[in-house]
Amino acid sequence: MKYGVVVFPGANCDHDAYHVAKHVLGESVVYLWHKDHDLQEVDVVILPGGFSYGDYLRSGAIARFSPIMNEVIDFANNGGYVLGICNGFQVLTEADLLPGALIPNTSTKFECKTVTLRVENRETPYSGEYEQGDLLRMPIAHGEGRYYANQETLDLLENDGRVIFRYVDAEGKPTMEANPNGSLNNVAGICNEDRKVLGMMPHPERACESVVGMTDGLALFKSLVNQQVATV
Amino acid sequence: MKALVTVHYKQGILDPQGKAVQNALKSLGVDGVSEARVGRHIVLQFPEMSKSDAEAQTKKACEKILANPVIEDYEYEMVENTA
């Protein structure tokens, strides 16, 4: 499986994503410069975390108009896999590839900590290696991660199984205390209708090796690899 | 011509920054403030354009990038540049 990691000015998790794809998964991976127009025939595009364009105006608002985003949007609309992590999630909502928006945390603070997520739907290309209801530990690091969408959109996402990850407490309950940013319905990650575009605020790419203290993100990437093996 | 653009959260969307400002005002003894909302102010200069053209461009800017229609409303005012 060939991964492509988009490099925006101000991205800072591009190396982490590249490292996981290449050294942990042993897959091939290339960087995709934001000014390019060539996706180099990758199977998966990763929009990494960071502070593209300094988060000016709104997080992701300017990156969304980067030259390469034309190709990423076409790729997604033609059924390509696109994974947006943190700032990448913000870019995906700004690009209308995912509904809703990410707005400032209710705490008004940058939240940098480990959270617990519950796997809400394992029937997606990104979650097949998890069990339904699995509790995962992953880091978050963001100031604008509060998922917002109108009620109609939220209902659609919930009823269609498109909320893949939700913030929960240690018992697996989606409490207010377990919600680090005030996201509606404790939403941590959602996918598009065909389940191939995933956006999430937590960082699975920073939770793939025991040396960094967490490994629960690895199954997300393994799910993708296995998914491709199964469909070829 | 210049455009004075204001972008703010739609009513009903919690504005934590506005809330913090409101609390600060209260603790500073500024009375009677029922709500404070924080937005963005953007000034666009159109030195060579008629008012109607500049207004069309301002509207385009607001709709394309300056405001996110999912969460924000915008308003603008066109004013003459005074030398």
Tokens representing residue B13 in the block: 């969307």
CB-closest option in B14, B20, B65 to A61 = B65
A41: alpha, beta or left? (left if phi > 0; alpha if psi -120 to 50): left
Its ipTM equals 0.86
Alpha helix positions (H), chain B: 16-27, 51-61
Residues A103-158: pLDDT tens digits? 999 999 999 999 999 999 999 999 999 999 999 999 999 999 999 999 999 999 99
CA distances (Å), B82 to each of A123, B1, B2, B47, B79, in order?
A: 62, 9, 10, 11, 9
| Number of compact structural domains in chain B | 1
| DSSP label of A159 | H
Question: Inter-chain contact B70–A93, Cβ cutoff 8 Å?
Answer: yes
Q: Is the pLDDT of residue A232 over 60?
A: no
Question: Inter-chain contact A101–B16, Cβ cutoff 8 Å?
Answer: no
Question: Inter-chain contact B68–A107, Cβ cutoff 8 Å?
Answer: no
Residues of chain B neighbouring A108 (CB-CB closer than 8 A):
16-17, 20
Strands A2-7 and A28-33: parallel
Alpha helix positions (H), A95-217: 151-159
Determine contact, residues A12/A49, Cβ cutoff 8 Å: yes
Contact residues, B window 37-56, toward A, CB-based 8 Å cutoff: 40
Predicted confidence band of residue A2 (pLDDT cuts 50, 70, 90): very high
Minimal-distance CA residue of chain A relative to B10:
A150
Predicted confidence band of residue A76 (pLDDT cuts 50, 70, 90): very high
**Structural domain boundaries, residue A202:** 2-231
CATH number at residue B37: 3.30.1280.10
Segment B14-42 shows an average pLDDT of 94
Percent of chain A's residues with pLDDT above 90: 97
Predicted confidence band of residue A230 (pLDDT cuts 50, 70, 90): low
Please, what is the average pLDDT of chain A? 96
**Structural domain boundaries, residue B64:** 2-79
Question: Inter-chain contact B70–A65, Cβ cutoff 8 Å?
Answer: no
Question: Inter-chain contact B65–A107, Cβ cutoff 8 Å?
Answer: no
| Number of compact structural domains in chain A | 1
Determine contact, residues A198/A126, Cβ cutoff 8 Å: yes
Q: B62 in contact with A at a CB cutoff of 8 Å?
A: no
| DSSP label of B74 | E
- Spatial separation of the C-alpha atoms in residues A187 and A174, rounded to whole Å: 9
Mutate: best of B9, B63, B66, B71, partner A, most A CBs <10 A: B71
Residues of chain A neighbouring B68 (CB-CB closer than 8 A):
58, 61, 94, 101
Among residues A158, A102, A99, A126, the alpha carbon closest in space to that of A223 is found at: A126
The nearest CA of chain B is from the CA of A127 a distance in Å of 28
CATH number at residue A164: 3.40.50.880
Establish whether A120 is a catalytic residue.
Answer: no
Determine contact, residues A199/A98, Cβ cutoff 8 Å: yes
CB-closest option in B20, B40, B70 to A100 = B70
Predicted confidence band of residue A22 (pLDDT cuts 50, 70, 90): very high
Q: How many CB atoms lie within 10 A of CB B25?
A: 14
